[in-house]
């Protein structure tokens, strides 16, 4: 049996812990801090950390890699086009990697960083997307262009609707506040905001999301919608020439929201 738990790190990061409960082995995604993972292993004797999956090079995603590899000998896999500490396997678009008996597909999603990748498991319908796609939002463009990020998000949005979206930050409420400013009359968005407020007040995390839910409520995946285009044009005072232009206007608006 396979299951996924979130190990909180820093103020709002999640390290995703994928577990094979029969074999008592596990993998982690984007361990920015080794301590939560080592604490879990200490509390669950007999378990083996076999794999460390990395989506991009930022410190809050790779900071715990060296210590975890030293402690467990786990294989480290990450993007070929970024400097990943202790990396054993370099991955690029279209590659496949077997983790805990499952084959994950590698998808290039440049934008947040130039070499950012995502891991998609089609049988379990899991997507580990780092800081590319967020619940109701997307990552800042620290290295890439709006064109790159819009293309990346469009690839993720084309995955099956029931795909579970495991991003790595608890940004959902702040993202929903912005989304409601863009589409204040979107009923699915209003309902989602109410649900997430209740979850967070109860101490529950807001993840994973799903591709279906993101298509319905995430403005960055809705650049083709007339309501989103109209909101961006009203905010910027300029016409958007394309869906990429709508995305660029959304990202600039969100950066200063």
Q: What distance in Å separates the CA atoms of residue 97 and residue 235, rounded to the nearest whole number?
A: 43
Residue 60 known to be catalytic: yes
The catalytically annotated residue of 57, 112, 116, 150 is: 112
Q: How many helices (H) and strands (E) does the chain have?
A: 9, 14
Q: Is 174 within 8 Å of 197 (Cβ atoms)?
A: no
Q: What distance in Å separates the CA atoms of residue 128 and residue 194, rounded to the nearest whole number?
A: 25
Check the annotation: does 60 bind a ligand.
Answer: yes
Check the annotation: does 235 bind a ligand.
Answer: no
Check the annotation: does 51 bind a ligand.
Answer: no
Check the annotation: does 57 bind a ligand.
Answer: no
Check the annotation: does 56 bind a ligand.
Answer: yes
Residue 88 known to be catalytic: no
The catalytically annotated residue of 20, 33, 51, 61 is: 61
The catalytically annotated residue of 60, 108, 116, 150 is: 60
The catalytically annotated residue of 57, 116, 150, 169 is: 169
Residue 112 known to be catalytic: yes
Check the annotation: does 5 bind a ligand.
Answer: no
The catalytically annotated residue of 33, 108, 131, 150 is: 131
Residue 56 known to be catalytic: yes
208, 186, 163, 225: which is closest to 194 by C-alpha? 186
132, 235, 146, 140: which is closest to 183 by C-alpha? 235
DSSP letter assigned to residue 203: T
Check the annotation: does 131 bind a ligand.
Answer: yes
142, 159, 168: which is closest to 30 by C-alpha? 168
Helices (H), 5-128: 34-43, 59-62, 65-72
Residue 116 known to be catalytic: no
Helix (H, G, I), strand (E, B) or coil at 11: coil
The catalytically annotated residue of 20, 33, 57, 58 is: 58
The catalytically annotated residue of 30, 33, 51, 56 is: 56
User: Dihedrals φ, ψ of 89, to 5°?
Assistant: -130, 120
DSSP letter assigned to residue 169: B
Q: What distance in Å separates the CA atoms of residue 153 and residue 220, rounded to the nearest whole number?
A: 8
Two tokens, residue 141: 């463009």
Q: What distance in Å separates the CA atoms of residue 229 and residue 249, rounded to the nearest whole number?
A: 9
**Annotated binding residues:** 56, 58, 60-61, 112, 131, 169
**Annotated binding residues for Zn(2+):** 56, 58, 60-61, 112, 131, 169
Which residues are tagged catalytic? 56, 58, 60-61, 112, 131, 169
């Amino acid at each position: 049996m396979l299951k996924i738990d979130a190990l909180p790190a820093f103020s709002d990061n999640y390290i995703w812990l994928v577990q094979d409960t029969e074999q008592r082995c596990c993998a982690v995604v984007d361990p920015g801090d080794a301590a939560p993972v080592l604490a879990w292993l200490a509390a669950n004797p007999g378990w083996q950390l076999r794999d460390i999956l990395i989506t991009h090079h930022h410190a809050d995603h790779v900071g715990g890699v060296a210590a975890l590899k030293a402690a467990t000998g786990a294989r480290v896999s990450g993007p070929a086009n970024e400097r990943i500490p202790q990396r054993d396997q370099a991955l690029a678009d279209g590659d496949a990697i077997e983790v805990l008996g499952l084959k994950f597909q590698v998808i290039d999603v440049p934008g947040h960083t130039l070499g950012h990748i995502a891991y998609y498991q089609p049988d379990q319908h899991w997507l580990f997307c780092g800081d590319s796609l967020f619940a109701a939002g997307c990552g800042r463009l620290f290295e890439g262009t709006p064109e790159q990020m819009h293309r990346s998000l469009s690839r993720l949005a084309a995955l099956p609707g029931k795909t579970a979206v495991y991003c790595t930050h608890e940004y959902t409420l702040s993202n929903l506040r912005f989304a409601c400013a863009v589409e204040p009359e979107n009923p699915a968005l209003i309902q989602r905001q109410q649900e997430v407020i209740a979850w967070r007040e109860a101490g529950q995390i807001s993840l994973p999301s799903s591709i279906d839910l993101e298509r319905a409520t995430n403005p960055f995946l809705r650049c083709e919608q007339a309501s989103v285009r109209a909101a961006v044009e009203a905010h910027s005072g300029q016409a958007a020439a394309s869906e990429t232009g709508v995305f660029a206007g959304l990202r600039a608006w969100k950066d200063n929201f």
